[in-house]
Structure formats: C-alpha cells, structure tokens
Amino acid sequence: MKHRLVLICLVLSIFAVCSVSAKDLMEPVKADWKIKFGDDKNWALTPDADSSWEAIELPGVVDMAGKPEMFWIKANVPYPAIFNNQDMYLEFGRCISAVEVYVDGILMGSHGTIEPSFNISHVENSIMRIPNIAKKNGHVSIALRCRAGTTHSSFAQFYFVDNARYYKLVLYQQFLNNTVYYMMAAICLFIGLYFVFQYISDKKEKSSRSFAIMLFTVSVYFLDMATGKTFIPFIWQLSISRFCLVCSVACITVFIRQFFKRPYKNVRLVAYGILVVVGGAFAYGTKSILLHEKIFTLSLIPIFSGIIYLYYVLIKEAAAHSKNAKKILVGISIGLTFAFHDIVYQIRGEIPFAWLQGFSFFFIDATMFFVVAVENIQNKEKISEFITTTSQQRDKLNEVLTAASKLSAETMEISASLDESVLKVAESVDLSVKEAGNIADFIRQQNTAVKSTSVALGELVSSVRTVTGEVQSETDVMNSTVEETKLMIDGVNQVADAISATAEFSSSLGGLTKTSENDVAQLVEAMETIKNSSTEILGVVQIVTDFAQQTNMLAMNASIEAAHAGISGKGFAVIAHEIKTLAAASSTQADKIKDIVTVIDTNIGKSFDLSLRVKSALAQVAKDAIDSSTQINESVESMQVQRQAGKRISEATATMSASALNVKRETDQQYSYSQMASSNMTELSDIAERVQAAVSDINTRNRQLSEQTAALKQLAHRAKDAAEGLNKLIAK
C-alpha cells in the first residue's frame, strides 16, 4: 500500500511540474520562409534566398510527391526585443522530418539525424542556442537542412524561448519523453516475460497469456515513443507502434474478462475483428503520412471504446463485490488522468511539455500487475497454509496408522476366534444335514403312501365319473327337450300373433268395406246428378244452335235488303256481314260443346255402370270379411289355450333340468368326499410321528447353533468397538 501511494505522489508531482510550463517565456517565430528542393550545404552560407526559392508557410506540411528527398528551408527571422539582455534558444517542436539547424551558416543542432544514419524523432522537442553574435540588423539568418522520411514532411510552430525553458526541456522533458519511456518499455517487457513463464507453467491460466501479449505490445509503443532511431521505414515503424497500442487495449479487455472468470469468447472475437480492421487500415495508411494521421485519429475510437468497456466491466464486478475490482477501477481512473492531459492539449491545438499518454497505459498495466502479483502472493500464502495443514494431517495419519496396527493385531485374534466358532457351526450344520436326509426319507415313504391312496381314489373317481356321465346324458336330453319345447311355444306364439293380426285386419276390413260402399253410393248419386246436368247442357246447346241459325237467316235477309238499298245500305250490309260471321262462329262453338258434352255423358254412363258393380262387390266383401273375422277370432281363442299349455310344459321342463343339475352337483361333492375317505390315514399318522422325532433332533441342533451365534455376536461386538476406535483416530 505504501509503495502505491509513493507512486501516485510521484506521478502527480510530475504532472504538476508539466502543468507550470506555460509560465516560461516563449515567443513564436514569425518569418517569411522559403523552400528549395535539393541539397547543397553552401545554401546555409547565403543570407538571402534568391528567386529560385519558393515561399512556404510554417507551421505547415511539405508535399514530397515527385520531388527529391532532400530540401532546404531558410529565412531572416526578426530578433525578439525581449531577449536583448539574455540568452535565447530555438525550440524546434514536433516535426516529421530529420532536420539540421544552421544559424548564420553555423550548425547549431539537429532534430533527428540525416547522416551518417537517417533517423526521425516524432515526439522529442529539440532545442538549440541562438548566439547573440548571430543577430545582424535585428535579424537572425536561420537555414534548415531537411530530409523527408515519408510522402509529407510536417513542421510545428517554432518558438524562441529563454534559459529557464531550455533547462526544463533538457532536464525534465527529455527525461519524461525519452528516458522514462525507455524505462517503461523495459519494465513492461520484463513483466511480460514473467507472465509468459506463468502461462507456460500453467496452460489453464489464459489471463496470463493475454496480459503478457498486452505488455509486449505496449512496450513496442513505448520504445517507439522513446527512441529517435528509425529501424525500418519511418511510416511503417509508426504504423506498427500505433497498431500495438490498439492491440494492447484489445488484449486488456479480454484479460479483464478472464481475470474475473467471466465468459470471454464473444469479447475475444470482437477484439480480433477490430484488430483485423485497424491493422488493414494502418497498412493502407502507409501510402501517406496525412492519411496515416487520420487513421490514427479514428483508431482512438476503439481505444477509448475499450477503456469504456473496462469501466463497464469493473463497475459490474465492483457491484458484485468481486475481489480486486475496486482496486483496478481506482488504478485505471488515476491512469486516465494522464490521457486526459494529452487530449486537452490536442483539442487546444498545442504541444504539451511532455506526452503523458504513455504514463496512462503504464499506470494501468502497473495496476494490473500489482493486483495480479498480490493475487499470486495470496495464492502462495494459501499454498503454504495448505502445506502446513498437510504436514499436520500427515502426523495425525501416522498416529492413526500406529493405532490401526494395534487394532489389526486385535482383529487377528478376533479372526482366530471366529474361525473356531465357524468350525463348530459347520459341524452342527453337518448334523442338521444328516437329520434333514432322514426327514427326506420319511417324506419319500409318505409320498409312497399318498400314491397308493391316489390309486384307490382314482378307481372311486372313475366310478363317480361314470355316474356323472349318465347324469350328464340325461341333463343334455332334458336341455334339448327344453329347447325344442321353447321352439314349439315360440312357433305357436308367432301363429297366434299372426292370427290376431289377421283378425284385427278382418275387423278393420269390414269397416273399410262399409265406408267404401257408402262412398261409392255417394259417387253414384253425384254421377246421376252430372248426367242430368249434361242432358240440360245439351238442351241449352240446341237452343244456341237454333239461335245461331235464326241469326244467320236474318243476316242473309239483311244483306239482300242492303243490296236493294244501294249505296245507302252499305253500312247496314257490313253489319249484316259481321252478324252472319258471329252467327257462324256461335254455331260452330255450339257444335263443339255438344260433342264434348256427348262424350262426357257417354263416359258418365260407363262410370255409373262401373260404380254400381263396385258397390255390389264391396257389399259382398263386407259380408265375407264379417264371416272371416268370426272364424279367425275362434282360432285366436284356440291358440291362446295352446300358448298357456306350452308355457306350462316349458316351466315343467325347466324344473326337470334344474333337478338334473342338482344331481350332478351332488355327484361332484361325492367325488371330493371320496378323497377324504382314504384308507391310508393310519400309515400317514405313523410317518408324522417319525417326522416329529426328527424335528425334535433339529431343534436340539438349532439350540447349539444359537449358542454359537451368541458367541459370534460377542466377537462382532468386539470388532465393532475396534472399528469405532479406528474411526475416532481418523477423525482426529
């Protein structure tokens, strides 16, 4: 705990020192800068740039597409009046290029190296002294010999600073931006190796593997931040180091799930997917440093998303009271304060005194290492306690074994006694077996007697079976008689029912015939009425015919008179013609009616004759139906008498069948009684007496066995006491 407080105080003090850097005297360099591509060291000696030089604005970016890798930038810079009475220094700032600084033609310092080896330091703030003798006419001639390592060279704001700023940069900033990052890279690499060995010793500890990968990747990032040396092409080195930063955050998200024993497969898949996308983006960004910077800015999204996810997981674990969750949460919170420092400066568009983002990740890693180390120490203490407990249990086990050996000796004695008891029991069992053999002989004799008794009883059963057969035959005959009688009675009943139905029909037939006779009489009267009406219709038709003839004669006379009248009689002639036509039509219709009525009268005459015949037939049927009904009623009375007699016969037959069944049942009882009447009961009684004697002997042997069993129980009780003593020793 004390070491952690010291570390926190140290970090906060460094943060406080960095925050007071704004009080230093700093004057931005403002000048008309010129640029010329190529390389000639004599260009540093010429105070002014000729027309072959092009204007450029600084801070800014130089596009190197299709141009030489070497170029020069120079200007006559106004000398600030505030530095007249003190030393002045040129702070170079962050620059993506290797630069040599010449003041009045003299090499004053460099940012990175151009030769003999090419190196770019993209983090370090280089600073160099501007001598007072370099001031001429209030200006200082500054020339920058540059070598681009990428498609673009970027330059930050140049500053004139005082002596205090110079010492801060030399003593603190270079220490923080270089030495400390070297130290953090070495520490992370060492801790990573430690966790690699942890994973090798126990492959089940997946969290050790994730934590080791996180430490290795972040150490690569720290090394790139610290070194000013370019090992591979600058843009690739920068892309790899920044990709390692994203990789370390991805690994720590997986590690935190593994550390708290939570499912992590989905988180691992998401992390792998993000790494594939970001890795491809950084590889694509090697085409241009400007494109690379945009991709790096976008890569901050998954970085901060991972940190937010860490907070989410840790808050959940802290709420669940998981061990060490609060400690890790506090450590990450403190570490992120350094990251916020760099974010604030980037938002303000300023370069901080020192980049503290590395401290942020290092503090997070250190917190994780501290928690894991404490966890391991606690586990070792538990293992030590377990070893101590095991040693104590071993001593107790030795005591138990000693006592067990004593109990074993006693158990051997008990075993010997048990052997003797078992021998005695075996002898008793042999005697019991012999007695059982005697009992078996007695039982065989008893079986012989039973067999002879069974033969005698078999003859008796045969005789009873013969009687039963005769009774069964009589029963079958009676049953068949009963069945035939039932069939006869059923037939009589059916005939009686049919005769009754016929009688009812005959009675109803007389009534129906009488009704039909009345209906036919009424029909005859109606036909007579219709016949008379037909005769009257014929008279009317004759009158109509006579009227039509008279009308026709009158029409002919009217026509003749109209012809005699000439023109004046034309109208009367027309009327006479129409009357003649009407008279002809009436005569024709009257003839048709006459014909129809004549046909009807003929048919009515025939129907009348038929009705008379039907009436006569119905009268005869009614008479015959009455006679038949009388005879059928007499037959019904006779069938009722026969039905009653058949019923009495059926009841008598059923009584005889029941009596036969009772006789058969009594015969069966005689068969069962015959088994009880065995002539060998005396012999069975003698055998029973001998069996009783054998049983008495067996009882004697059983008493002996009981005594032996009691002895065995005592021995078992002693064995139980010995086992309980052994259990008590084991329980200790």
Average pLDDT over residues 279-295: 92
pLDDT for the residue 614 = 64
pLDDT tens digits along 651-703: 666 666 666 566 567 666 655 655 565 555 566 556 656 656 665 666 666 66
Q: Tens of pLDDT along 392-433?
A: 666 665 665 566 566 656 656 665 665 566 566 556 656 655
pLDDT over threshold 70, residue 650: no
Q: Contact, 199 vs 212, CB < 8 A?
A: yes
On average, the pLDDT of the chain sits at 74
Residue 270 has pLDDT above 90, yes or no: yes
Give the SS3 label for residue 99: strand
> What does the alpha-carbon distance between residue 419 and residue 415 come to, in Å, rounded to a whole number?
6
Residue 211, CA distances (Å) to 192, 206, 239 in order: 7, 9, 22
> What would you report as the CA-atom Rg of the chain, rounded to the nearest whole angstrom?
71
Q: How confident is the model at residue 18 (pLDDT cuts 50, 70, 90)?
A: very low
DSSP H or E stretch at residue 76:
strand 70-78
Q: What is d(CA 658, CA 478) in angstroms, rounded to the nearest whole number?
A: 10
Per-residue confidence at 174, pLDDT binned at 50, 70, 90?
A: confident
Q: pLDDT at residue 277 above 90?
A: yes
More confident site: 4 or 231: 231
pLDDT tens digits for range 505-562: 556 656 666 676 676 667 667 667 776 766 777 676 677 777 777 777 877 777 777 7
pLDDT band at 592 (very low <50, low <70, confident <90, very high): confident
Q: How far apart are CA 127 and CA 622, in angstroms?
A: 157
The segment with the largest mean pLDDT, out of 37-46, 351-360, 390-399, is 37-46
pLDDT-based confidence at residue 384 (cuts at 50, 70, 90): low
pLDDT of residue 17 exceeding 70, the answer is no
Structural domains in the chain, sorted by start: 27-161 (2.60.120.260), 462-676 (1.10.287.950)
Predicted local confidence at residue 103, as pLDDT = 92
| pLDDT value of residue 430 | 63
486-502 pLDDT per residue, tens: 666 665 566 556 556 65
What is the rounded distance in angstroms from the CA atom of residue 720 to the CA atom of residue 712? Answer: 12
Provide the pLDDT confidence category of residue 37 given band limits of 50, 70 and 90.
very high
Flag whether pLDDT at 9 surpasses 50. no
Instruction: Please tell me the predicted confidence (pLDDT) of residue 462.
Output: 65
pLDDT band at 711 (very low <50, low <70, confident <90, very high): low
Q: Residue 114's closest CA among 91, 143, 145?
A: 145
Cis previous bond, 131, omega within 30:
no
Q: How far apart are CA 97 and CA 234, in angstroms?
A: 10
What per-residue confidence (pLDDT) applies to 236?
93
- Mean per-residue pLDDT, 156-183: 85
Secondary structure letter of residue 45 according to DSSP: T
The rounded distance, in Å, linking the Cα atoms of 663 and 469 is: 12
Lowest mean pLDDT among 115-124, 424-433, 566-575: 424-433
- pLDDT for res 673: 56
Record the tokens describing residue 283, joined without a space.
């590889």
Quote the CA–CA distance of 70 and 149 in Å, as a whole number: 10
Structure confidence at residue 354 (pLDDT): 65
As a three-state string, the secondary structure of 321-378 is CCCCHHHHHHHHHHHHHHHHHHHHHHHHCCCCCCCCHHHHHHHHHHHHHHHHHHHHHH
Peptide bond into 116 cis (omega under 30): yes
When pLDDT is cut at 50, 70 and 90, the band that residue 19 belongs to is: very low
Q: What share of the chain is helix, strand, coil (3-state, %, to 5)?
A: 75, 10, 15
CA 434 to mean position of chain CA atoms = 73
CA distance 695 to 712: 25
Two tokens, residue 494:
């059916």
Asked if pLDDT for residue 243 goes beyond 90, the answer is yes
Q: How many residues does the chain have?
A: 732
* DSSP structure class, residue 228: -
pLDDT at 16: 45
